């Protein structure tokens, strides 16, 4: 028996995997071979040290730590089964308190967003600074967006009265003390949308790596949008557009020089503007931040180069990165498909209702728009 074969026996002995006969063979070899005997001593020392490694425990209960997220998952699961009305009558208390926390947070984030926008717009020539800011603001936009989404659901739950939803929104929360005008009005507008019809805002600027609670919440929202009006959900600009018109109708957009006026022309125009201008950071100074909070987020999202669309069944998430569209599993975050790189601006990510295909538009520097379709199952991508 060679020393290398004995090594195998030694190893197996450490795991209690030797029978009597093998043990005997090993022992008799070790008696005659000091090198192997030495090695065996070392290995068994190592093995016992490994067995004695500290049995570490988490410093605090992990289950307690994830409880809010688990409740969130439950809420999300219940949603498709329950109609909106019963849910209003029986709000989940714990879920609600969670929302309220994020409602307060959304105000803070929106304030940061406003500050970020002003920094951006007042230093248009200072590129390095501007790009730094844009990153920060882009991230903030993602979070703010999903928190506003939370707001909309929270108010959805809270609202018993259907009539003047915006007033409800503006008056029923103690947490609004933290909110800036922008956040309140932005949230108010959003809640009005939610209450009145399907939410029209496609959360384009979503924090990509964000907290999965927020993300899953937003996903749910998108799912609903897609189910009721695939058109609206897909067109990234329609949210801003409808949002703005709604805001103006409701008298919410009270500041006169309105960005929304420029963006509100047509859906396509709006989306092209956003996607084209964003990388150049040359977007129009939004004086009326309140009514335009969503449009601004989209512009910022363009800078941050994060566009995302979740499939109607929430299983897939399409993200625009580096001039191509990637599809991830929302469960495992596994990359399922990565599309080819496109020369131009990618926009209008749109899932089919059957979750099988994702379409998107690419606008090149000459303004020509091509449409591409990704088949998720086959992992193919074709120009149409």
Partner 1 sequence: MVEPGLIRAAQSGDRDALITLLREIETHVYRTAYYIVNNEQDAMDAAQEALIRIYTKIGSYEEKAQFKTWVQRIVTNICIDKFRRSKPTVSIDEHEMVFQEKQNVEDEVLSTYIAKDIREAIDKLPEHHRAVVVLRYLQDFSYNEIADSLDLPLNTVKSYLFRARQQLQTLLHDYQKGGVRG
User: Which of 160, 148, 152 is CA-nearest to residue 90?
Assistant: 160
Q: Which is nearer to partner 1, 27 or 45 (CB)?
A: 45
Q: Judged by CB under 8 A, how many residues of this single chain contact partner 1? A: 43
C-beta of 11: minimal distance to partner 1 in Å? 4
Give yes or no for residue 2 binding partner 1 (CB under 8 A).
Answer: no
Q: What is the CA radius of gyration of the chain?
A: 28
**Nearest-approach distance from CB 73 to partner 1, in angstroms:** 6
Placement of tokens 């120009």 in the chain:
383
Task: State the Cα–Cα distance between residues 113 and 121, nearest whole angstrom.
Answer: 12
Which residues lie across from 362 on neighbouring strands? 346, 370
State the minimum distance, in angstroms, from the CB of residue 334 to partner 1.
8
63 versus 85: smaller Cβ distance to partner 1: 63
**Residue 51 Cβ, how far from partner 1 at the closest point, in Å?**
6
SS3 335: strand
Residue of 47, 100, 121, 175 interacting with partner 1 (CB under 8 A): 47
Name 66's bridge partners. none
Selected binder of partner 1 within 31, 41, 377, 383 (CB under 8 A): 41
Closest CA to 363 of 295, 269, 288: 269
Q: Quick one: 43 or 119, whose CB is closer to partner 1?
A: 43
32 binds partner 1 (CB under 8 A): no
> 298: closest CA among 130, 107, 113?
113
User: Taking CB under 8 A as the criterion, which residues in 322-381 touch partner 1?
Assistant: 331, 333-334
The backbone torsions φ and ψ at residue 70, rounded to the nearest 5 degrees and listed phi first, read: -65, -40
Among residues 124, 187, 182, 125, the alpha carbon closest in space to that of 154 is found at: 187
How many other C-beta atoms are found inside a 10 Å radius of the C-beta of residue 378?
A: 11
Stretch that binds partner 1, among 50-58, 185-193, 248-256, 267-275 (CB under 8 A): 50-58
Backbone φ, ψ for residue 20 (5° rounding)? -60, -45
For tokens 């920060």, what's the residue? 136
66: contact with partner 1 by CB under 8 A: yes
On the 0-12 / 13-18 / 19+ scale of CB atoms within 10 A, 162 is exposed
Told to check if 11 binds partner 1 by CB under 8 A, we report yes
Interaction of residue 45 with partner 1, rule CB under 8 A: yes
* Among the listed residues 1, 27, 62, 84, the single contact to partner 1 using CB under 8 A: 62
Nearer to partner 1, 39 or 227 (CB): 39
Residues interacting with partner 1, by CB under 8 A?
3-4, 7-8, 11-12, 14-15, 17, 34-35, 38-39, 41-43, 45-47, 49-59, 61-63, 65-66, 69-70, 73-74, 212, 331, 333-334
């Amino acid at each position: 028996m060679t020393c290398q074969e004995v090594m195998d026996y030694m190893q197996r002995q450490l795991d209690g995997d030797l029978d009597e006969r093998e043990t005997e063979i090993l022992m008799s070899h070790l008696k005659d071979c000091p090198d192997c005997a030495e090695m065996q001593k070392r290995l068994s020392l190592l093995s016992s040290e490994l067995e004695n490694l500290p049995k570490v425990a988490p410093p605090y209960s992990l289950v307690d730590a994830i409880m809010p997220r688990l409740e969130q998952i439950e809420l999300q699961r219940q949603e498709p089964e329950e109609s909106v009305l019963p849910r209003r009558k029986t709000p989940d208390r714990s879920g609600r308190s969670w929302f309220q926390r994020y409602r307060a947070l959304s105000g803070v984030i929106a304030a940061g967003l406003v500050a970020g926008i002003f920094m951006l717009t007042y230093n248009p020539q200072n590129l390095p600074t501007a790009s730094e800011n844009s990153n920060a603001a882009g991230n903030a936009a993602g979070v703010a967006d999903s928190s506003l989404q939370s707001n909309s659901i929270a108010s959805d739950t809270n609202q018993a009265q259907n009539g003047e939803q915006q007033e409800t929104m503006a008056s029923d929360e103690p947490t609004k003390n933290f909110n800036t005008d922008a956040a309140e009005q932005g949230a108010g507008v959003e809640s009005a949308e939610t209450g009145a019809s399907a939410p029209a805002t496609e959360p384009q600027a979503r924090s990509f790596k964000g907290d999965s609670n927020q993300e899953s919440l937003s996903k749910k929202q998108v799912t609903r949008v897609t189910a009721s009006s695939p058109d609206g959900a897909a067109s990234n600009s329609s949210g801003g557009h409808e949002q703005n018109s709604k805001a103006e109708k409701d008298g919410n957009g009270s500041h006169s020089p309105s960005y929304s006026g420029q963006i509100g022309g047509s859906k396509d125009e709006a989306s092209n503007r956003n996607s084209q201008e964003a990388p150049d950071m040359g977007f129009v100074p939004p004086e009326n931040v309140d009514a335009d909070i969503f449009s601004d987020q989209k512009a910022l999202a363009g800078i941050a180069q994060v566009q995302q669309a979740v499939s109607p069944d929430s299983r897939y998430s399409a993200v625009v990165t580096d001039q191509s569209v990637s599809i991830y599993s929302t469960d495992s975050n596994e990359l399922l498909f990565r599309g080819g790189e496109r020369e131009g601006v990618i926009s209008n990510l749109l899932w089919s209702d059957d979750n099988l295909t994702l379409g998107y538009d690419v606008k090149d520097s000459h303004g020509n728009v091509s449409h591409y379709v990704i088949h998720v199952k086959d992992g193919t991508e074709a120009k149409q």
